Structure 1
């Protein structure tokens, strides 16, 4: 059973299913060295669901997300969760592919990993290039070790979020896309 909010709103069952996919992905991504903070996971998922349900009028227009990662299969559960909510997710495997997509299409949010051949900090270089192109768009750096070392330093890098937590990515994307 699902409950639809608004005439063109989001179905609660779709939001809950997307949140469940993110939680499952977080559990599979966690390891002994980086255990899941259950409270933070629950809070981020709840915030994402709350944003989805409190702003159904903004879902009428298809939202677009550009995700740059040389190993896109690492993000399958999040990509599926966003697509289940009606977000058009465009995947790029290189910085050049990401730049080409941004030059020819418009997006609501960009997610980038950090390390891509040949550069160890390709995500930062990509964020800088986006700003040089004059594009004002939320940028999320979603990386494991690098993010754990730089979390909270978003303003230093001109990005919206630095994280290694999939539930934080989920929550931030929904906030940025549905809150605009």
Structure 2
């Protein structure tokens, strides 16, 4: 195995048009043994998901493609029977957004970095 290949059980795809904002959290997850891949758009994320297996997807909600692009990504994934867990990490954290995320089959929605890490860890303890 080359040093650039990671098992799917330790790979996270982070979809955000401003990935630098998330570097401290990503570094924390990498210290815990995860490998983070980045996609700046929904289109690139869907290409990467079609070619690789991931433990989870972390996505922001709004991107230049649209303010609800996170839901578009998740719905596209589920539409092609991709059951990779999705957690939204968005600046807004309203109860209505959490409820809608659950209706779209997301595994979580938060704007808190500690809660995001807990959600990722919880996924690791649940059989898929």
TM over 0.5: yes
Give the 3-state SS of the residue equivalent to 2:62 in structure 1.
coil
The normalised TM-score by structure 2 is: 0.86
The normalised TM-score by structure 1 is: 0.62
Greater relative CO, 1 or 2 (CA 8 Å, sep 6+): 1
RMSD between aligned residues: 1.8
* Higher helix proportion: 1
* Higher strand proportion: 2
Task: Give 1:6's aligned residue.
Answer: none
Q: Which one has the largest radius of gyration? A: 1
Q: Which runs of 5+ in 1 are unaligned?
A: 1-59
Q: 1:134 aligns with which of 81, 97, 116?
A: 81
Q: Which runs of 5+ in 2 are unaligned?
A: 1-6
Alpha-carbon distance in 2 for matches of 1:91, 1:61: 15
2:119 aligned with 1:172? yes
The aligned length equals 120
2:101 aligned with 1:154? yes
Give the 3-state SS of the residue equivalent to 2:26 in structure 1.
helix
After superposing on structure 2, the runs of 4+ consecutive aligned residues of structure 1 that deviate more than 4 Å are: none
